[in-house]
Amino acid sequence: MSLREYLEALSREQDLRYQQRFDAQNKAIDAALASAEKAVTKAEAASEKRFEASNEVRGAMDDLTRTMMPRSEAQVGLNALREKVDELQKKIVASEASQTGRASQWVLIAGAIFLVIAIAGFVLPYLNKG
C-alpha cells in the first residue's frame, strides 16, 4: 500500500467516523426535539385544564354575584322589617293596656254592684222594720 492509498483510506475512515457521529447527533437532536414537543403538548394540555377550571370558577362567581342581593338592598329590606316589628310591638302594648283597662273597668263595675247589694242588705232590713 502506498502512502497515497494509506492517506485516502485514512481519510475515508475519518469521513465514515464523522458521518457516524453526525448521524448519531442528528438522532439525538431528533429525540430531544420529540421529547420537547411532547413536553410542550403536555404543558399546553395542563394549562388548558387550568384555564377551564379558572373559567368555571369565574362563571360560578358571576352566577353568585347575579343571584345575590346587594348589601344596600338587603339593608333596606331589614329596615322595613324592623319598622313593621316596632309597629306590631306598639300595637301589642296598646292592646295589653286596653285589656288591662277593661279588666279594671269590670272590677270597678263588679265592686259597685257588690257595694249596692251590701248597702241594700243593710238598708232593707231597717226599712222593713219601720
pLDDT tens profile 37-89: 999 999 999 999 888 888 888 888 888 888 887 888 888 888 888 888 888 88
The more confident residue out of 19 and 117 is 19
pTM: 0.40
pLDDT, tens only, 97-110: 777 777 778 788 88
Output the pLDDT for position 38. 94
The residue with cell 420537547 is 36
What per-residue confidence (pLDDT) applies to 30?
Answer: 93
> Nearest 5 degrees, angle CA 37-CA 56-CA 71?
150
Nine cell digits for residue 62: 358571576
DSSP state for residue 69 in the 8-state scheme = P
Tell me which long-range contacts 121-128 makes (C-beta under 8 A, separation of at least 24). Answer: none
- Distance CA(75)–CA(94), nearest Å, equals 29
